Structure 1
Amino acid sequence: MHHQCKTASQQPGFLCEDSTACLLPSQLCDGKMDCPDGGDEAAAYCGQMPNSLPQNLIFKCPNQKTWTYVDRVCDTRNDCGDCSDESVPQCPECLGWRCDTVFFADCACIPRSRCRNGVQDCADWSDENLCD
């Protein structure tokens, strides 16, 4: 039985059977028992992923082939392969350097920490020549 809860960041979570621990969605079926009874690793949830997972805890990518946990949406990592999990309306604006990236995993937003670091992240080298 799935118990819904809100995590500390007010995101949907998984409530353990002890009714005290509220797990991040990505803690389900990660190979580590986070609930005291191990319910977060039960075959009922982990057997036919993602279909066996509570649907409010997953984000289905538009390509219908991949998915990620809702707590991994807007985390600057391209989990879907097409950046759709990083471009949903609730994602914050890019706080880094926006460009066409060399590595698609960046989803067109290079963290400021990688500006002028000697590594080409932008196809036009703007992360090395223009950003500050």
Structure 2
Amino acid sequence: MNMELLVLGLIISFVAGQPPESTEPNTWPCSDGANSINIDFLCDGRNDCPDLSDEDESNCGNTCEFACHSDKKCAFSYQLCDGFPDCSDWSDESECPETACDGFTCVDSGRCISHRDVCDRYSDCSDSSDEKDCFKVTTTTTHASTTTTVQPTTSMASIKIPRKCKKNPSKSKCRLFWEILATKLTKRFIRKCVKKPKSKKCKKWRPVLEIKQLASPYDFVPPKCKKNPGLSKCQSFLVHISKQLPTKFIAKCHAKPNKPKCRKFRVVLNLVPTFVEN
């Protein structure tokens, strides 16, 4: 009787020390004996077992499609040269064949990203090269006044703008393209929106028009104010008009301030630092 109990105890202790066989189909037991994973997760390049045994080299010797150079972790073949590092040492992105990038190539890693990800105020490249030199700012000075214009660089101008954003840029998802669209506005369209700002189309383009107005305020001066800035409704545009006065016109009015046109523009001429009425 004692012998039978001893044998039974040995069997129980032996079984208790073995990893439990999975009772569910398509599962694989981890080496810790307490956990199991789906068989599809075995040697998939990601750790699913707490003890990391599902990615151990002894278990993945024949199933690992690509072994990372530093830690010998596994990566799938479709993860190679996809522009995203799956290995900690980026070895899955090294020794890749050179292919033409139809988007933007990151400076540091050579990663190819879509043109839509360039100059969107979010760094997709680790060195943020996709967010550099997005706009070219040009400053010109005439008769002690300064005018600043903003234009997209070559890489910025090559970005393809979605058709929906061209029709209705007021949508929030089109915010990324407002600066580019602002550079494409025609003076004819701006004049229409200056005359009828509440028209349906001008309302859709309002955020783009506001950006354009900051860069080129003179384009938004009403035609009547450009001809006769002395009108009461033109007070808010006087500074912008004064910055665009031709040097020859200023000189003529300086010499003969009583000319009809000079009298019309007197309120503007007085804002020009170089103009001193005799």
TM-score range, shorter chain: 0.3 to 0.5
User: Rg: which structure is higher?
Assistant: 2
TM-score, length basis structure 2 = 0.26
Is the helix fraction higher in 1 or 2? 2
TM-score, length basis structure 1 = 0.47
Q: Considering Cα pairs closer than 8 Å and 6+ residues apart, tell me whether 1 or 2 has the greater RCO.
A: 1
